[in-house]
Amino acid sequence: MQARRSTPMYLVEDLDDARLRYIGLGFVPMPTDDEGCCGVKAGQTHIILINRDHAERTLPPRAVALLEDRPALYVWVESLEDLRAAAWAESDTFLGEVSMAGLREWAVESEHGLLVFAETTGRQH
């Protein structure tokens, strides 16, 4: 199992305000096709910002509740099945799967908080 990249993911009340704050800090916006989700980057640092509407459309209710308390770690992996075989902790709780925008995502509650693992499916919407 090989992780390709990990990025903190924040639930924000006002996506435009959060994006502008990061732009003011020197981050470059990385828009998506979903108005409820935006990435920002500075050098090798990436951050995912999502609003409540996006969170409730794309994550299980327990994942949204965890995200309300603290950021999640969004981890791109080569294969979700390889992840389950090689790096699944006994204490991890699978919360659900979603497929959209060329990604297949698993929300997992771990002892460290919410983890969202994603693999590229090759299909772009």
Structure tokens at 35: 């108005």
Domain boundaries, the chain: 3-120
pTM of the model: 0.86
pLDDT mean across residues, the chain: 89
> Is 119 in contact with 76 (CB distance < 8 Å)?
yes
Question: Measured at the alpha carbon of residue 55, what is the angle toward residues 54 and 57, in degrees to the nearest 5?
Answer: 65
| pLDDT value of residue 36 | 93
Span 38-59, pLDDT tens digits = 999 999 999 999 999 999 999 9
- The CATH number of 3-120, from 3.30.1490.190, 3.10.180.10, 3.40.50.720, 3.40.47.10, is 3.10.180.10
Question: How many CA within 13 A on the CB side of residue 59?
Answer: 29
pLDDT at residue 122, rounded to an integer: 66
| pLDDT of amino acid 88 | 72
pLDDT at position 125 over 50: no
What pLDDT is stored for residue 25 in this prediction?
A: 96
Indicate whether 123 pLDDT > 50: no
